[in-house]
Structures are given as structure tokens and as C-alpha cells.
Amino acid sequence: MNKLMGIDLDSPYLQAILAVLVVGSLTALSLLKFYVFVTCGRCGSKAKMKGKTVIVTGATGGIGKETAKNLAARGARVIIACRNTDYGNQVRDELVKETNNENIVVKKLDLASQKSIREFAKDINESESRLDVLIHNAGTAETRSKVSEDGLELTMATNHFGPFLLTHLLIDLLKRSAPSRIVVVASELYRLASVNLNKLNPVNSFIPTYLYYVSKYVNIYFTLELARRLEGTNVTANCLHPGMIDSGIWRNVPVPLSWPLKLIIKSFFKTPEQGCQTSVHLAVSEELEGVSGKYYMDCRERGLTRAASDMAKAKKNACD
């Protein structure tokens, strides 16, 4: 007889209970995965983008790559803005083959470097006659405190200060190309953060990963104030939560935390193709013509917390 702490492990009743628990757990997990699948928003627009130019930052992998692929398949001229142009050209060749669209170009852009941003913007303004959609997709979540060449905390530099500067440098081209759109990839993880607008460059943060949540919060403020300032220009700005995605942004999570996280990611997170749908929706859907200053998730408008909707703070973020 096998016993553990006085419990008969050979008891048919115990074995039946354990079997029910295992089957019940597997069923619950399967139902949860099915729910995640059926509630995943999909862009239903069939709009073509021929004759339009789109910039997608961070388009060499994850949802950025899938966003670029979707827009290229619609006929857009897609500019892949990335740090590694050698890898970018490999992705470009892959997308050309998959979409039969040769009008895909690769340009170097490091959003953590103001010099790189200014060089990229200068190139775009000189070489492109129009810019119909600017998609701020690139992002990072550093697990160790790092500072950029400009003295900015690296996560905030890449996720906030970089897109802020790039938008400013390309805004005239966007206005001349109107109607045009700015799409900002934020995150529901903003709900886990609070923002100190007097300290947006915490170079000595005790928990660097937390700054990812802060940067997504500030992305929302940026979008709301940008939309307000662009009223009457026929340039719109909206932000979105793409969902929790099985992408490279989780590669910095250290062991052993990465082990259970990997299981969760593979089981329940969206694929990059599913995750790009809201970005594409905001970039192409005819029903969003003229819609600005909104937050979307699963291709539907969603509400923000009262704090995230505070226009006074959004304005202060833009001014500071």
C-alpha cells in the first residue's frame, strides 16, 4: 500500500479525483485558449493602399513585420525603418516574395539615437514626395539600466523620446500628404504604471523593466495631445493595444522567470499575425477616416483610465 502523509495513494477514489482535476484543468485551459482565439480582433477592411507610402518602425520582426507584410500586400509603398539594415534587407526580400510587391525599401533608423532619427527624417523628407501613414511600432523593454548616447534611459529613449522627435520632424510631410494617419503602438500594461512627468528620464531606475509600462503610458499621453494639436489638419493620431504577443520583446526576461513565461506565451499569447490586426485597422480602415485621439484594442475603440485621459497631463508631457 502506497501512502503519503497518511493518504492511501492506491485508493480508487483519490485516483478518480485526481483524474477529474487533470481533465478539468486541461479543459479549462483549452476553453481559455479558445476564448482568446475567438475574441481576437481582425481587420475586416479590404482597402487597397496603392499609391500610398507607409513607414513602419521596428518592422524586421514580430507585429511590425506582419504589419509591413499586410500593408505591402495591399499595394502600399512600405518603408522598413530598422537598426540593422542587413537583416532588414533579408526581411524585405522575404516580404517581396510573399506579397509580390517590389515597392518595399529599407532605411536605417535607431530610435535610441537622436542623430539617427534626424538623419532618417532628413532622408525621408528629401526622397519621399508623400507620407500617408506613420506607424510607431518599434519598442524595447530593457531589464538592466542603460543610457543612450544622448544621455536618455534606453527604454524611454526608444519607446517615447524617439517617436516624439521623429513625428515632429515628419509632421510637415504628413500634413502635405493629408489625409494621413499616425498610429502609435501602446499597451494595456500602462494600467500597471504611474507617470511622473517631472522625471521622464529616470537613468538610475531601480526596476528598469517597469519603465516599459511607463513608456506605454506616456505613448497614450503623446497620442492624445498630438491629436488635439492636429485638429483641422486632416492628420489623425490614434493609439492601440496589440494584445500580449509572442514576439521578441520578451527575450530580455532573465532565467528562471523566462521558463514559466515561455509556457504562458506559447499557450495563450497572440501570434504576430494576430497582433498586427489593430495596427492595420488604424492604418487602413475607411470607417476611421477623420477619427483621432482614440485608443483601440482588438480593432475596437476602448476606454482609458481617468488618469490616462487627463488632457492637462498630456499637454504637459508634450510641452516638457
As annotated, the active-site residues are 212
C-alpha distances in angstroms, 12 versus 5, 7, 15, 283? 17, 12, 5, 59
CB 295 within 8 A of CB 239: yes
Is the CB of residue 100 less than 8 Å from the CB of residue 72? no
For residue 136 the three cell numbers come to: 510607431
CA distance 302 to 281: 14
Q: Which residues contact 92 (CB under 8 A, 6 or more apart)?
A: 80, 104, 105, 106
Distance of CA 32 to the CA centre of its chain: 23
Q: Please tell me whether residue 97 adopts helix, strand or coil conformation.
A: helix
> Would you state the cell numbers that stand for residue 148, as one nine-digit string?
543612450
| 38: Cβ contacts below 8 Å, ≥ 6 apart | none
Q: Note whether 154 and 211 are within 8 A (CB).
A: no
Residue written as grid cell 539594415: 85
Question: Could you give the C-alpha distances from 72 to 106, 128, 168, 185, in angstroms and in order?
Answer: 13, 17, 25, 19
Query: Helix H segments across the chain?
Result: 12-38, 62-73, 85-99, 114-127, 154-156, 162-176, 210-229, 258-268, 272-275, 277-284, 311-319
Distance CA 211, CA 194 (A): 10
